[in-house]
């Protein structure tokens, strides 16, 4: 009997991943869609829950964690005997488990998680009401609040959901490092911690300047001033496009990277060279896709005017992002999971999970 997941199961798993992270983007980020329609956060929450259900339902854990023929079973038994003879543990911890063990000082900080979580929630509230005088929660506020709520609930999550708990820990930790830390550093550098500005350096140096160069190669007259690109339409009109943090694609980039690290952390026990290469190529491709998105939006504005630019700005970005994410996760499962499961079955190499 063939125990490998069917194409339908892989397709549903891929769908779950794409829907989950698009839902998270709606919940966490304060883009124009969410700012205009508050109920889009509820839609994002429903997408996240639904996507997580598909991931939990169709994640091929059994296939990836056990041999699927007699030769592989015999090899696994010999390996277990050798580990026991050397005094090693029978089960090797995943990357996520080892990471959590390090950052919690061997688990000694885990009992204090509720205290840390409540402190973060209070800090966010005080930050908004006292420092900024704002009652509106923005992207970074929502992210910090999610981290605080998660830390409060961490010890209440049943051990049966340990894998999901570890995934969420690595995801939120990575996302905070990629989004919160850079913006705090930038605000500290300009001497205004109460600023509501985002990561403008990314928008200016990694988007505005490269897009300006691409427009020059395409024959479109343009200039840049910080994070603002000014260009001429085909009719000779002038349009200025401000690349704010919420429009820069940095949120999607950060969510993609954090999701990859969390997924690999909970599914793999070794951070080998192929995973590093795949992550590097994924980050580069995500950046190039975002760069192409900005260039395409400006080109639409150049040929069809400001109304068409606004339409492309609202719709083209998430279509490109969804297409890229779907392709990336499909390649991840195709190269790392199906092939490594087959290798484990032949006894050529270890399964990616334990």
User: Per residue in 191-204, pLDDT tens?
Assistant: 665 555 556 677 77
Domain boundary assignment for the chain: 1-59
DSSP 211-274: HHHHHHHTT--EEEETTEEEEE-TTS-EEEEE--HHHHTHHHHHHHHHHHHHHHHHH-S---HH
Distance, in Å, from the CA atom of 75 to the CA atom of 194, rounded to the nearest integer, reads 59
For residue range 63-115, list pLDDT tens digits in order: 444 444 455 445 555 555 555 555 544 557 888 889 999 999 888 899 999 99
For residue range 22-72, list pLDDT tens digits in order: 777 666 665 555 656 667 778 878 888 887 777 766 665 544 444 444 554
Pairwise pLDDT comparison (304 vs 191), residue with the higher score: 304
Pairwise pLDDT comparison (27 vs 301), residue with the higher score: 301
The residue behind tokens 């509230």 is 125
For residue range 145-186, list pLDDT tens digits in order: 889 999 999 989 888 788 888 989 999 999 888 888 777 777
The residue behind tokens 């125990």 is 3
Average pLDDT over residues 275-283: 83
At CA 116, angle to CA 110 and CA 119, rounded to 5? Answer: 165
- Name the range with the highest mean pLDDT among 4-8, 255-259, 316-320, 350-354: 255-259
Q: What is the pTM assigned to this prediction? A: 0.67
Region of 4 on the Ramachandran plot (φ > 0 left; ψ -120 to 50 alpha; else beta) = beta
Residue 352: pLDDT band by 50, 70, 90 thresholds?
very low
By C-alpha distance, which of 208, 203, 249 is closest to 230?
A: 208
Strands 222-225 and 238-242: unpaired
């Amino acid at each position: 009997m063939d125990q490998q997941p069917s194409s339908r199961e892989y397709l549903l798993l891929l769908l779950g991943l794409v829907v989950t992270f698009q839902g998270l983007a709606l919940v966490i980020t304060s883009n124009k869609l969410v700012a205009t329609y508050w109920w889009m956060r509820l839609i994002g929450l429903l997408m996240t829950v639904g996507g997580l259900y598909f991931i939990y339902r169709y994640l091929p854990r059994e296939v990836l964690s056990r041999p699927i023929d007699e030769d592989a079973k015999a090899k696994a038994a010999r390996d277990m005997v050798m580990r026991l003879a050397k005094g090693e543990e029978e089960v090797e911890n995943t990357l996520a488990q080892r990471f959590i063990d390090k950052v919690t000082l061997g688990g000694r900080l885990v009992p204090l998680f509720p205290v840390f979580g409540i402190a973060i929630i209070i800090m966010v509230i005080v930050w908004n009401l006292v420092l900024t005088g704002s009652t509106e929660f923005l992207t970074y506020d929502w992210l910090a609040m999610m981290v605080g709520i998660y830390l409060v609930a961490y010890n209440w999550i049943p051990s049966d959901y340990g894998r999901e708990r570890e995934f969420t820990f690595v995801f939120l930790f990575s996302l905070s490092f990629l989004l919160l830390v850079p913006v705090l550093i930038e605000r500290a550098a300009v001497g205004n911690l109460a600023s509501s500005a985002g990561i403008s350096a990314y928008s200016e140096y990694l988007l505005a300047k490269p897009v300006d160069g691409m427009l020059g190669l395409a024959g479109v007259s343009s200039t840049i001033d910080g994070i603002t690109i000014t260009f001429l339409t085909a009719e000779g009109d002038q349009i200025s496009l401000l690349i704010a943090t919420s429009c820069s694609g940095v949120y999607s980039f950060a969510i993609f990277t954090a999701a990859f690290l969390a997924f690999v952390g909970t599914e793999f026990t070794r951070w080998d060279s192929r995973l590093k290469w795949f992550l590097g190529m994924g980050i580069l491709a995500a950046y190039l896709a975002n760069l192409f998105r900005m260039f395409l939006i400006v080109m639409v504005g150049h040929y069809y005017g400001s109304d068409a630019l606004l339409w492309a700005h609202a719709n083209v970005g998430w279509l490109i992002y969804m297409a890229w994410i779907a392709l990336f996760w499909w390649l991840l499962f195709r190269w790392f999971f199906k092939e490594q499961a087959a290798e484990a079955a032949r006894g050529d190499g270890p399964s990616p999970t334990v």
